[in-house]
A and B are shown apart, each in its own frame.
Chain A
Amino acid sequence: MSESLVSDGDLAGDDVRVTHPAAGVASLRARGAAALAALWQVTLVRRAVVLAALAAAWQLAALWQNNPLLFPTFTDTISALIEGLRHEDLFPASVASITVLLKGYVLAIALALGFVSVAIAVPFVKEVLLTLTAMFNPLPAIALLPLAMLWLGLGEASLLLVMVHAVLWPFALAALTGFEQVPETQRLVGRNYGLRGLSYIALILIPAALPSLLSGLKIAWAFAWRTLIAAELVFGVSSRSGGLGWYIYRNRNELLTDKVFAGLVTVILIGLLVEVLFRLVEQRTVRRWGLQR
């Protein structure tokens, strides 16, 4: 306790001892500045300030344009968002999109892990995987949609096909790179304890490759989300609720631009939420283990 008192006196400077009135004010100001600086160190605070500035700029630009049909204001968009969530089908549309997304994502990740597990054991399969990845990675998933619709019709199956394509290749590449970068010593340690096959992959390779796997999951998630929203612009998933892309497309047709904006904001918000989730996972794993800074 006494130590902190001494350091406070030091902060305020020599002037305090002669009780100069201006010194107290200066010290208060210094403390205020220090508190602000500390607050600025918090990532969430910095992000909130950036978002608030963007919202203000949007509001001003929209007011200046004064054309709600083409460019609704921030406040109009937010009220459309709340209205949409409470009384209209924005919420079920979001749930529909996320449900389809999770199905496709999990399916593709499982396929990729299976493929890569075989590829690290069998050189020929690795050759196949690398060739396929090189071929399909540059091919935008949405370009497969016409073919998917032709083969599988207008429905979830088509969406799943394009999403598996969007996720499988980038994630497989990240996983393969991650597994290959596992330090030789850690591989030998695992083999030393008699680990083989699946237990070797699960107990050594996957945790050791987690930085690459997580970044692959992040990239794959972004690809999947973009692809899904784009695909939903073409057709709705189910009869009742067509997903977020469909919500945006439908409201554009009715020139309800504030709802189009509300749909886009929802897409962004869900993206941010997932980003935060990934960050939490990273903090509890790879950052905690010193594998990533």
Chain B
Amino acid sequence: MNTAADRATALGEAVQSWIDDESGLLGKALKATLDEQLFFRDDVNFALDHVRSSVSAESLKDWASKFSNQLHETESASGKKMLLCLHAGNLPLVGLQDILAVLISGHHYAGKISRKDPHLLSSLLRFLQENTTFDIHRYSTKIEDFTNLEADAVMFSGSESSVADVRRLLADKNMLAAGAAELIRTAHSSVAWIPQEANFEAVAAELVEAMFRYEGKGCRSLTTVFTDGDTRSLVEAIEAEAGASSYIKENLSVRKLSPLLHYKRSFYRALDQQCFSAGDRLIAATDPDLHTDGLVTITRADKDECIHFAEKNRRRIQSLYTTDTNTGFGQIVAEPIGFAQRPPVNWKPDGVDPLHWLYQPEQKPGPEV
């Protein structure tokens, strides 16, 4: 595999083979994941279906083609770098994009697999080791296995409070070489703009998926909605859709609100602010709140206020979704709501294309410690 296009093709075909082989490595990984109750079956199936439809030879070649001029560098051995990926495990297969980017780039891949999702990505990596010539240097659920790795770069997602600890660990255990580049993503939730002319009933299904899929845990999950329409009507439309959702009924309905959300719901009701709960999540027509886990806010505001909010909180906000992506949002590139939990393979976490970064790994500053 001499070129990025070759690697992209081989990788896309390998991923499809891995996904199709239900009795093989993936089947075993799937069984272990469900037996250990690491995720809902619905969410694992959803994630696999999404990989099946979005990761192909064509889609990866298309992604690689955007940087074809820069990709030649790793075609000589001296250009190959050691990449350490620290994978979170809050969603099934959440680290897949980083793996794809490293392998297409031709660099060496070393990956710390999350203990919260230890089987799925591992099964893909093992499949690739057994069936392809991709350079998978090391992968493990144990961070100690990366001691003295001296990687040239690291990629991970973290919060402002966790990044300092991670950096310290990487330094103490000599996991990174001096001057190693870092790609740290800190955004943790997403925002939507729903204009008053949108049909709230029609958009509610996509909003519910954006809010509830993967238990609302991913950085692409929707936590903050702005509308210049009637917030009551929007909340009612979402509540009706949530009430009809089989995903919520089967997976979330047994859960209860946390004490904090119960407290907040009591307060919203005292002030006659429209709200409802579905499982352990609270949806309320109130001011934005990026900090309370399990809370989704619907706020009446104009579009400029929504844009201002997204720009002011750009370190925390992953994506901005809307019903009409043809309208402008300042510097922000808005996505259709339907992409929330089904992003294309080349989406840009924190606005950075990881494949692009691998060829221009200038230090992307993480949060200040």
A, B from the same assembly: no
State the A residues within 8 Å of B (CB).
none
State the B residues within 8 Å of A (CB).
none
